[in-house]
Amino acid sequence: MHLEVAALGFIKTIYNFVMGLIGLVFLAFLGYVFIVSEWQEHREQQQAKEREQIATSVAQASRERGLGDLNKLRQEYLSRCSIDELLALEGNPSEICEAMADALLDQSQKREMKLSDQAELGYQLCALEAEQEDADADEWCDRQEWIDYTLHDAVALGLCAFDRAWVFDPEYASHLSKRGTAVYLDQELRVDCGSRLFEEWDYDGFFDGAPEDEEWPLVIDQVYEALESENRGRVIALLDSHEFGKDEHFDLWLLSLFIDDRFTALLPAVLERNGGKVNFDTNYYNQPLSQAIEADSPKTALLLLDAGADPIRPHAYGRTPVVNAASHGMLDVVKELVSRGADVNGVVGSESLDFAAPLRWASWNGHGETARWLLENGATITPQDPSQFPMWESGQILDDAVVGGDLKVVETLIEMGAQSEEPLRLFEGAVAGSNPDVLLLLFDQGYELPEVKYHDRIYDAVVDVIKEEGRGRVENGVVIFELLLERGFDMSKTHESGWNYAHQAIIHYAPPTIQLDSDDERAPLVRKQRVRFVKRVIDEVIAAGIDIDHRHESRTMLMEAADGGQPELVGYLLDLGADATLENDKGQSALDIAVREGRRLTAYWDDNEALKTRFAEVIEMLGGTRDMLRPPEERASSGGS
């Protein structure tokens, strides 16, 4: 009894000690977190103080020097604007430069600081960050780069002086445009010309940034909830309570809730209350028509066009509505847009500086009917003046069309003179398009496979079709693979680890072992075709001179097939002469691997009779018995050997 009490006392002492130790560790951890947090806060405060000191010092020095002769300062700013490099597609370049100089001068007077001083401030702040990161300030920081960005901002602000303007920067393939009451950078709001504030998130430049976005009115959320709950009466009541015309921004936001085809029937109620307004100055590149097309809502798009939506106002990436409608395969919308003045080549009104974009995107996305209609109604593949379209590539149209896989479209384009300048891109696309007839057409036209070093990339496209990814169909993938082999497709590659195409195919592209009970009516066909594909890969690898018992990470092709429970492949490899007695670096033969993996999988899916049958067949092919699939203890208890 005393011993028991002593033992309990000892256990209690140990328990209290351990719990106390845990408590101390926890308190130490909390203390550490607190100290780190305090240190981090102190560090941030110190850094903010240092930044403030630098800003104050530079600003003070600038004020002491003064701006000098304002006319000379303006001329200095004007000289920084290179008219030769400024591609003004709308607006006079010299007038845009004048507006840029005015914007810089106005800001210099407001801040009492020259652009050069502001560049120095930017450099010193950057140098401070470099020092904190233990980096070289001269490598991190560039005064001229800071000035270049500011000049870009100044051009943007200067465009506010124009009713409409559009400036393209060929070096960065980006553009600034004045549309409505704002200036946009690549269709994203850049400057609100009313407030003259920059809208970029966390803007920190020579000019002034806008505060955080204002919250939307409660009615936006209320209408959305009523629409989702299909409460039509509530929607109408909310529309009646909204004061249309007070804030165009929120009127656009509200109308946008009705873009979905589910709510098209209610859209006339909105238009009745907002005076039929479907074209807005605010958010110029994100109008209701463009939203409807992007949302795959053709009924809404057609209704908006009937209500007067601008058929050529550009939206996403500067493309006109006909480009995006063609890209989505909205043939009825494309026809309506063209009937209302849209250009089948997507050029009129475009700010993408691209050509034949409707045809390109319809073809690439596999919308053959839309692409054929465009071709039948005047779409061309070459601009009269290519210099007007710096983004256009002469060979792109054919490269895109083969991805779509429509033979008639590809044939028509070739008849019109379309050619590819990138064989790799062309063949990758043709394989991805999953139409063997398109591939045959390319071969008939004299196109040859690219260099052997690029065959890996084409093979990746083949196996995507075999796996039925994208528009792929496994049966087409097998035919395409065989066509490529006929044209010299190389299968001799081995990876430094021992990997070859056959190992890869057996492991990754043979039919799944587990999913044998799929309800998909195509499952038997897919299974048969994938086995056919893997067998053909094995044939070609061996024909390329690779030994049938070649190893990848000590495993032969036969071992991989056994591991996957693939009786069709195990039998095929054995017939070709694969050695079943070989062992991997763990001393396991193909039979050992099949038994181990078969037991593991069938124990987990114990009611999957098809799975058991497949592994049992593999084990028998390798010289074992079906009974080996049962665990040893189970066999022993039943008297099995």
3-state secondary structure 101-129: HHHHHHHHHHHCCCHHHHHHHHHHHHHHH
List pLDDT tens digits, range 391-417.
788 889 999 999 999 999 999 999 999
308: alpha, beta or left? (left if phi > 0; alpha if psi -120 to 50): left
DSSP letters along 291-326, please?
A: HHHHTT-HHHHHHHHHTT--SS---GGG--HHHHHH
Q: Residue range 250-267: average pLDDT?
A: 92
Both ends of the chain: CA-CA distance in Å? 54
**Alpha-carbon span 211 to 201, nearest angstrom:** 9
Identify whether 543 is part of a domain.
yes
Is residue 462 over pLDDT 70?
yes
List pLDDT tens digits, range 512-560.
877 655 567 888 888 999 999 999 999 999 999 999 999 998 999 999 9
The pLDDT score that the predictor gives to residue 625 is: 93
Q: 43: how many CB neighbours lie within 10 A of its CB?
A: 11
Helix axes 474-486, 436-444, angle to 10 degrees: 20
Strand order in the sheet with 87-90: 87-90, 165-169, 174-179, 182-185, 188-192, 197-198
**Alpha-carbon span 491 to 539, nearest angstrom:** 10
Is residue 156 over pLDDT 60?
yes
Question: Cα-flanking dihedrals φ and ψ of residue 380, to 5°?
Answer: -120, 170
Identify whether 245 is part of a domain.
no
The mean-pLDDT minimum among 220-229, 432-441, 532-541 falls in 220-229
Farthest-apart Cα atoms in the chain, separation: 108
The pLDDT score that the predictor gives to residue 120 is: 87
Q: 218: how many CB neighbours lie within 10 A of its CB?
A: 9
pLDDT tier, 641 (very low <50, low <70, confident <90, very high otherwise): very low
Identify whether 528 is part of a domain.
yes
pTM of the model: 0.79
The pLDDT score that the predictor gives to residue 518 is: 57
Here the contacts of 314-317 (C-beta below 8 Å, separation 24 or greater) are: 314/187, 314/285, 314/349, 314/350, 314/351, 314/352, 315/187, 315/285, 315/286, 315/287, 315/289, 315/290, 316/187, 316/285, 316/290, 317/186, 317/187, 317/352
The pLDDT score that the predictor gives to residue 124 is: 85
Identify whether 229 is part of a domain.
no
**How many domains does the chain contain in total?**
2
The pLDDT score that the predictor gives to residue 622 is: 96
- The domain boundary, picked from 49, 70, 87, lies at 49
User: What percent of the chain clears pLDDT 90, i.e. is strictly above it?
Assistant: 60
pLDDT tier, 450 (very low <50, low <70, confident <90, very high otherwise): very high
List pLDDT tens digits, range 596-621.
999 999 888 888 888 899 999 999 99
User: What percent of the chain clears pLDDT 70, i.e. is strictly above it?
Assistant: 90
Contact 175, 167 (CB under 8 A): yes
Which domain range does residue 604 map to? 491-637
pLDDT tier, 177 (very low <50, low <70, confident <90, very high otherwise): very high
Q: Residue range 202-218: average pLDDT?
A: 76
Identify whether 285 is part of a domain.
no
pLDDT tier, 142 (very low <50, low <70, confident <90, very high otherwise): confident
Is residue 54 over pLDDT 70?
yes
| Helix%, strand%, coil% for the chain, nearest 5 | 60, 5, 35
**Alpha-carbon span 458 to 97, nearest angstrom:** 50
**Cα 313 to the center of its chain, rounded Å:** 25
**Alpha-carbon span 261 to 333, nearest angstrom:** 14
The mean-pLDDT minimum among 192-201, 207-216, 259-268, 563-572 falls in 207-216
Identify whether 278 is part of a domain.
no
Query: For the chain, how many residues are written?
Result: 641
Average pLDDT score over the chain: 88
Q: Mapping DSSP to helix (H, G, I), strand (E, B) and coil, where does residue 552 land?
A: strand
Identify whether 39 is part of a domain.
yes
Sequence-ordered list of residues with C-beta below 8 angstroms from that of 150, at least 6 positions apart, any chain: 104, 115, 118, 119, 205, 206
Query: What DSSP state is assigned to residue 638?
Result: T
Contact 258, 273 (CB under 8 A): no
pLDDT tier, 494 (very low <50, low <70, confident <90, very high otherwise): confident
Q: Residue range 366-379: average pLDDT?
A: 96
Surface-to-core class of residue 480, CB atoms within 10 Å of its CB (0-12 exposed, 13-18 middle, 19+ buried): buried
Q: Mapping DSSP to helix (H, G, I), strand (E, B) and coil, where does residue 532 land?
A: helix
More confident residue, 345 or 249: 345
The pLDDT score that the predictor gives to residue 97 is: 92
The pLDDT score that the predictor gives to residue 497 is: 77
What's at 226, amino acid-wise? A
- CATH code (residue 545): 1.25.40.20
**Could you tell me the CA-to-CA distances from 537 to 312, 406, 501, 511, 543 in Å, in that order?**
51, 28, 7, 14, 10
DSSP letters along 15-31, please?
A: HHHHHHHHHHHHHHHHH
Q: Residue range 310-331: average pLDDT?
A: 94
Q: Residue range 448-455: average pLDDT?
A: 94
Is residue 3 over pLDDT 60?
no
**Alpha-carbon span 531 to 511, nearest angstrom:** 7
List pLDDT tens digits, range 583-593.
999 999 999 99
**Alpha-carbon span 363 to 430, nearest angstrom:** 12
Per-residue burial over 341-361, b = 16 or more CB atoms within 10 Å of its CB, e = otherwise: ebbbbbbebbbbbbbbbbbbb
pLDDT tier, 341 (very low <50, low <70, confident <90, very high otherwise): very high
Identify whether 194 is part of a domain.
no
Sequence-ordered list of residues with C-beta below 8 angstroms from that of 207, at least 6 positions apart, any chain: 103, 107, 153, 154, 157, 196, 197, 198
**Could you tell me the CA-to-CA distances from 59 to 54, 55, 114, 119 in Å, in that order?**
8, 6, 10, 11
- The domain boundary, picked from 49, 66, 83, lies at 49
- The domain boundary, picked from 17, 32, 49, lies at 49
